[in-house]
A = this chain, B = another copy of it.
Amino acid sequence: MRLLIIEDEPGIAGFLKDGLEEEYFAVDIAYDGKTGLDLALINEYDLLIIDWMIPALSGIEVCRQVRKAGNPVPVLFLTAKDTLEDVVFGLDAGANDYIKKPFEFEELLARIRVQLRNKNQNDDSLSAGILNINPVTHQVFCGSNEIILTPKEFALLEYLIRNKDRVCTRSRIIEHVWDIHFDSDTSVIDVYITFLRRKLEAAGAGNIIQTIRGVGYIIREPGVS
């Protein structure tokens, strides 16, 4: 899951990036509104976290421009302000939620999960067939027995399942799971697909990851055509 943080205070930005990367998000940072808007329009993020007070272009203006471009990405506002008018103003500009500074990291995480969950109209746990994964505890179950995955393995599987029944292209996987944005001839994806397939197969999930040659991979929900 790929996030963009638009925040001018390096301390807060760095703290957020570290904390979110520990939760296996791919995180980009922009230190002013203009850069942030450019990044948000060029790349495809799963969530934007925008500070209200930032240089070059206000957070609210960034949000408005993103919406104007027809981009429905969830937006979470970070704000010191808390008067009702300001909140209304922000939500009218197209924000999905806001959180007041100072905030608990746990609360931020919870609100991020809410937004990402809304995206797929699912509850907290994601599933595909017999497979069940929990993004909060980072656990994976095949029926009743747990599959132990490394962080990268988990991130890849989570991305595939969040986008189940859709083809995930190699470039999108490398962007959203590895946060690599330039062309490269790495073969990490192949290797991790092999790792995942081996563990899933051993746990009795069968081979649910299908290859779309020349394009990418897909996990299909069985029985739903």
A-side interface residues toward B, CB under 8 Å? 137-139, 144-145, 148, 150-151, 166-167, 169, 212-216, 225
Q: How far is the CA of A137 from the CA of B166 in the complex (A)?
A: 7
- Residues in B with CB closer than 8 Å to A215 are 138, 151
**Could you tell me if A137 and B214 are in contact, using CB atoms closer than 8 angstroms?**
no
Q: How far is the CA of A140 from the CA of B82 in the complex (A)?
A: 48
Q: How far is the CA of A137 from the CA of B215 in the complex (A)?
A: 9
**Could you tell me if A150 and B225 are in contact, using CB atoms closer than 8 angstroms?**
no
Q: A148-B212, A151-B214 are in contact. List 16 more A-B contacts (CB 8 A).
A: A137-B166, A137-B167, A137-B169, A138-B167, A138-B169, A138-B212, A138-B215, A138-B216, A139-B166, A139-B167, A144-B225, A145-B225, A150-B213, A150-B214, A151-B213, A151-B215
Q: How far is the CA of A209 from the CA of B166 in the complex (A)?
A: 27
Q: How far is the CA of A164 from the CA of B213 in the complex (A)?
A: 27
Q: How far is the CA of A225 from the CA of B212 in the complex (A)?
A: 36
- Closest Cβ of chain B to A95, distance in Å, is 24
- Closest Cβ of chain B to A93, distance in Å, is 24
The chain B residue with its CB closest to the CB of A163 is: B137
6 contacts between A and B (CB under 8 A): A138-B167, A138-B169, A138-B215, A138-B216, A150-B213, A151-B213
The chain B residue with its CB closest to the CB of A124 is: B70
Q: How far is the CA of A145 from the CA of B224 in the complex (A)?
A: 11
**Most chain B CB inside 10 Å of its own CB: which residue of A137, A144, A213, A225:** A137
Q: How far is the CA of A148 from the CA of B214 in the complex (A)?
A: 12
The chain B residue with its CB closest to the CB of A166 is: B137
